[in-house]
Structure 1
Amino acid sequence: MRDDDTRPRALIVDDEAPARAELRYLLEELGDVQVVGEAANGNEALQLLESIPYDLVLLDIRMPGTSGLDVAAAARRLPHPPRIVFTTAHPDHAVEAFDLEAADYLVKPFDAARLARAVERALTQPGSDDGAGGGTGGDAPGGRGTSSGAEQGSEPGLPRPLAKVPVQKDGRTVLVDQRAIVYASAARGYSYLKLADERFLVTFSLNELERRLRGHFFRTHRSYLVNLDHVRELVPDFKGALACVMNDRQRSRVEVSRRQAAELRRRLGA
């Protein structure tokens, strides 16, 4: 274990004292960070964040007054922005949390092992968009598209295909039929699913979705997996590359890497 003065500094923010005590205990047992502050509400958290630089904030969302989401937004503007791990009993704020570039999102109750993974993610992957090679640029893994998940899932030793993907909506778990997915995008080891007029965060990485989704899914780019049944048109983008216009309500444009463009045209008969 490193000496306390060299370990990353952590702040715990939760309006419930037992929850703060449990987090402190788990973090001290983990030993990777030193807890140097606690706050019982968002205003206290902001005062502490402005007083000394923290490396990690364990942050509840629903608190009296200033919410955890507001605290995270303010923390991003600090000269030394800390990494944020949300710790909440409410799964329905996950999309907002990752839009704020949270390192992880833990839903209570969670165990020590899950917390350890979140801390490791926060401290070692500050710029990663997808735990298995995602990002905002570059080509798809291996420079090739994916075959359908059904074909891959039929091979021995490969993960079971996902006919339906579980998502959290209004405190409920909803099973989304894979045919309703317009495209998926990478989100720091997780993924966003874009449907016709909704977007959900799911715990599957983009690489895992690529391996397990059935149907006509194609990895156009390191950060995107599209359902070819929902491609409306192919258009050149401003860089001279290619983009897919999808048939969701927003007519979203999905980037296509140059290496994938020819294979995508072939798959679409274009």
Structure 2
Amino acid sequence: MREILILGKQGQIAWELQVTLATLGNITVLGSQELDLANPHKIGEKVRQIQPDIIVNAAAYTAVDKAEQEPELCQAINATAPGVLAELARESQALLVHYSTEYVFDGLKTSPYLETDLPQPLGVYGASKLAGERAIIQADCQHLILRTTWVYGNRGKNFLLTILRLAADRTELKIVADQVGAPTWSRSIAEATAQILAQSHREQDLRGIYNLSAAGKTSWHGFASQIVDRYRLAYPDRHLAVEQILAIPASDYPTPAQRPAYSVLDNSKVLADFGVQLPAWEASLEQLFARW
């Protein structure tokens, strides 16, 4: 059995990975309390104790706005730590699976982003994730960098849980309608990761960046509207106070960090290489509420 180390125990993707990767090997899951990725000197000691065949780095600094005030901490977790993990993976001939983001792009395209498109991050968070990708590639270890977008689930901090919390108390919500992306369920990401790893073998030399996001696209306003509608269908006995969800431009909701206006990814490469295709975002949202 392969030894699999999952990092980011408190996160929504890592939580799902504990289930989907369970049949592929012996799993060790670490959170920030067991391994502080902001302290790179401690990473090697812990990883060498476990001796993993596969390192799945689902840990990240994801507070996009706060990153503008904490660039050093963001860089340490999102860039320096992945580089250290990559060096350790090369040292032990392990495979490193690392999750990245569409925030490496500026969002100026109007067609889905390819893995080969030129990255142009808009803020500290995106720049740190891009630096993490480059550190992994430079280390020349076996690696799979999976770029995803608009991740949500039924735990942690994400847009879906925020909308449900606000909808329970407010009669009116104002949601940005001119930013477009593909809401991607953390369970779908974990299941796709398991499918990819199930096909991998020790003698393979895996290296590459792959987009991994739900099919389709919508705006934050469209996503919020679907969340409320699907929730009411799934739980007709639970009251939500919200009566209307108003569409607003991003300029009406200024944030410390600039967001990409277009966050849709082209997933044809992961389909061609691994036969993996995530469901449409609407279907995943419906499935989440059915399983909650």
- TM-score, length basis structure 2: 0.36
Asked which structure has the greater RCO (Cα within 8 Å, sep 6+), the reply is 2
- TM-score, length basis structure 1: 0.39
- Bigger share in strand: 1
- Bigger share in helix: 2
